[in-house]
Amino acid sequence: MTASRYALIGHPVAHSLSPRIHAAFARQAGIDMRYDAIDAEDFDAALAAFDGAGANVTLPHKQRAAAACSTLGDRARRAGVVNTLVRGDGGWHGDNTDGLGLVRDLTGRQRLDLRKRRTLLLGAGGGARGVAPALLDAGIGDLFVVNRTPERADALADALGEPMRVHPRYLDDLKGLGEFDLIVNATSATRNGSFPGLPMSLAGPRTAAVDLSYGEAAVGFLAWARAAGARDMVDGLGMLVEQAAESFALWHGVRPDTDAIHAELRAREDALVSAD
């Protein structure tokens, strides 16, 4: 095992900002560490070949990562997905920092009060599973889970175990659901340039629209939210930085300050948008 080696495992990962973020955290903390991006279609093979002390896991392997762990933290157990691996004597320990990262960004940096917000979660895959428990813990009101595949929406609602607050719905139901205070896009459709049309009735002047993606992948959803009259439009860059800080803390016992790297990356993203 190489104690100072960490990595991001996913497919694809060439676009990821995670190596840059963790390099900044390591400099800040005075820790000598290496963090690589490993593009792998076969997660099990990639993990077996990896000799580091910890790793992050991204699409499409978060559920498979949970199955590969010897032990799971409470957050990963509730979510059923893992985005952070910590090597232990008995194998891999899995945790999930996505939800905590999202809530920290929304309530801290974005200064949003999530309490009692009627919430729509678009998607029921690894991203949605990672954030749903934390949103419930943050005090949102009813949570409506909508997915292209009805069975996955039902499965996520069942896993969350709060039938009085969590309601699975299907794409055809969207036009009749009314307005939401918080809409979270956790689908991967925009990564493929195929963002589905959404009824304008879902958003209004009180709505905060949040995309878990950042950069070009978030453009379609946030453009829809703006056109629908949402009050706040938030991409996933802040969540990315905050969940990375939580992973870093699990590995090294110190949580880095996130403001400087977030400001640097936000300026970079804004410059890329302006260039387009």
Residue 190, domain CATH: 3.40.50.720
Query: Which residue is catalytic, options 6, 53, 54, 62?
Result: 62
Q: What is the pLDDT of residue 270?
A: 81
Domain encompassing residue 81: 2-96+238-275
Give CA–CA dist 45/48, Å, rounded. Answer: 5
Same domain (yes/no): 49, 172: no
The answer to whether 69 and 57 are in contact (CB under 8 A) is: no
CA distances from 159 to 67, 78, 145, 167, 210 (A): 16, 7, 12, 12, 23
Q: Per-residue confidence of the chain (276 residues) as pLDDT tens digits?
A: 555 999 999 999 998 999 999 999 999 999 999 999 999 999 999 999 999 999 999 999 999 999 999 999 999 999 899 999 999 999 999 999 999 999 999 999 999 999 999 999 999 999 999 999 999 999 999 999 999 999 999 999 999 999 999 999 999 999 999 999 999 999 976 555 455 689 999 999 999 999 999 988 899 999 999 999 999 999 999 999 999 999 999 999 999 999 999 999 999 888 776 666
Same domain (yes/no): 120, 213: yes
CA atoms within 13 A on the CB side of 202: 25
Q: What is the pLDDT of residue 82?
A: 97
CATH number at residue 244: 3.40.50.10860
214 marked as binding residue: yes
pTM comes to 0.94
116 is catalytic: no
DSSP assigned state of 29: H
148 marked as binding residue: yes
Say how many domains are in the chain. 2
Same domain (yes/no): 183, 127: yes
Q: What is the pLDDT of residue 195?
A: 56
Q: What is the pLDDT of residue 188?
A: 74
Q: For residue 36, count CB atoms less than 10 angstroms from its CB and return exposed for 0-12, middle for 13-18, buried for 19 or more.
A: middle
18 marked as binding residue: yes
Give CA–CA dist 99/255, Å, rounded. Answer: 16
